Amino acid sequence: MNKKIFITGGAGYVGSSLVPELLKKGYSVTVYDLMIYGQEVLKPNPNLNIIKGDLRNHFLLEKSIKNHNAVIHLACISNDPSFELNPKLGKEINLDSFEPLVKFAKNNEVSQFIYASSSSVYGIKKEKLVNETMSLEPLTDYSKFKVDCEKILLKYQSDNFITTIIRPATVCGYAPRQRLDLVVNILTNLAYIKREIKVFGGKQLRPNIHISDMVNAYLMVLEAPKNLISGEIFNVGYDNQSVDTIAQTVKKVVGSDVKIVNVQSNDDRSYHISSSKVETVLNFKPNFTVEDAVIDLTKAFEKKLLPNSLDDEKYFNIKRMQSAKLS
């Protein structure tokens, strides 16, 4: 196999775990990334090409995308606070840069395009199992632009340009480029370092997925028969758990001395998705649990792999965005 994969955001949280797995499977990989979290998260490899690039640099982007078989588009200004920090930048990277990227891919004979959307596109739903056929009611510009990009991508779908949209749950667990601003990871960090977790509300449901399962989902879509993934949309999650349940799992793993403090919250929004379609169509089944993610993070803390985890900006997207001063 010498399939060439072009990954935007390949040095990010998910990308830093996905790239090594692709290399292990014999793919040649090009990572196109701003590298604001550092390039050292990706180990050198003869089949890895790293390009420090901005999606808004159309000349470099088109030049770089040539001679690849597939694109996995992970790059974005991720999560609402980071997006709201600089809405203009968020729109330029998350929306305005998207259609040129798709056009460059298709015009340069890339045959497959996988887009990382978000399960937040559904907004708040009363239904217990939110599936891919339900209406999209995004609540923030971050989520609205994800919807816009989905529509753009599907316009370009053809027999020679296979497009697939992934709507992931919130990813959790340890990665070379670690994020500690996602719910499971936040609670584990606080429990391990402070021995106390503050839970705001607690009854709200959150869909989560272990980072190893998220990586596996991208690999399965990349390698699936065309007829199963062409123009398709897949929710990808493990379980919809309340924040209270997640906190209890963290306490169970980190230590019985961890104190859980419940604080009243006005925000009782619950997000919950069904991943039955991806299981039925691609036979995708998560192999790891939220508890596994907490165990992995706890081991990383014990091995001193996450120093200064409460304060170092590299673990927190919004803090790094503020200091990077992108414009």
* pLDDT tens column, 164-190: 999 999 999 999 999 999 999 999 999
Other Cβ atoms closer than 10 A to 174: 23
Residue 199, in any domain of the structure: yes
What pLDDT does 89 receive?
Answer: 85
Range in 122-131, 225-234, 282-291, 304-313 with the lowest mean pLDDT: 122-131
Task: Give the count of domains, the chain.
Answer: 2
Residue 257, in any domain of the structure: yes
135 and 252 belong to one structural domain: no
pLDDT averaged over the chain? 94
119 and 139 belong to one structural domain: yes
129 and 264 belong to one structural domain: no
Q: Is 205 helix (H, G, I), strand (E, B) or coil?
A: strand
- What predicted TM-score, i.e. pTM, was given to this entire model? 0.96
Domain containing 181: what range? 173-207+239-270+289-324
123 and 38 belong to one structural domain: yes
142 and 201 belong to one structural domain: no
Residue 282, in any domain of the structure: no
Last residue of a domain, one of 236, 252, 281: 236
Residue 284, in any domain of the structure: no
120 and 193 belong to one structural domain: no
148 and 259 belong to one structural domain: no
120 and 148 belong to one structural domain: yes
d(CA 198, CA 190): 9
What pLDDT does 272 receive?
Answer: 87
Per-residue pLDDT tens for 73-100? 999 988 767 767 788 888 988 999 999 9
Helix-strand-coil percent breakdown of the chain, rounded to 5? 40, 20, 40
Contact 253, 298 (CB under 8 A): yes
Which own/partner contact pairs does 123-128 have at CB distance under 8 Å and 24+ positions apart?
124/269, 124/270, 124/271, 125/272, 128/272
What pLDDT does 289 receive?
Answer: 97
111: domain CATH number is: 3.40.50.720
132 and 219 belong to one structural domain: yes
253: domain CATH number is: 3.90.25.10
What pLDDT does 31 receive?
Answer: 98
State how beta strands 205-210 and 162-168 pair. Answer: unpaired
55 and 149 belong to one structural domain: yes
Measured at the CA of 260, the angle between CA 255 and CA 261, to 5 degrees, comes to 160
Residue 104, in any domain of the structure: yes
Distance (Å) of CA 317 to CA 63, 137, 206, 321 = 28, 25, 20, 6
d(CA 281, CA 272): 20
Residue 277, in any domain of the structure: no
Amino acid found at 117: S
Residue 252, in any domain of the structure: yes
Q: Is 1 a residue whose pLDDT tops 60?
A: no
107 and 228 belong to one structural domain: yes
Residue 279, in any domain of the structure: no
Residue 282: pLDDT band with limits 50, 70, 90: very high
Contact 268, 203 (CB under 8 A): yes
56 and 179 belong to one structural domain: no
What pLDDT does 80 receive?
Answer: 66
Amino acid found at 37: Y
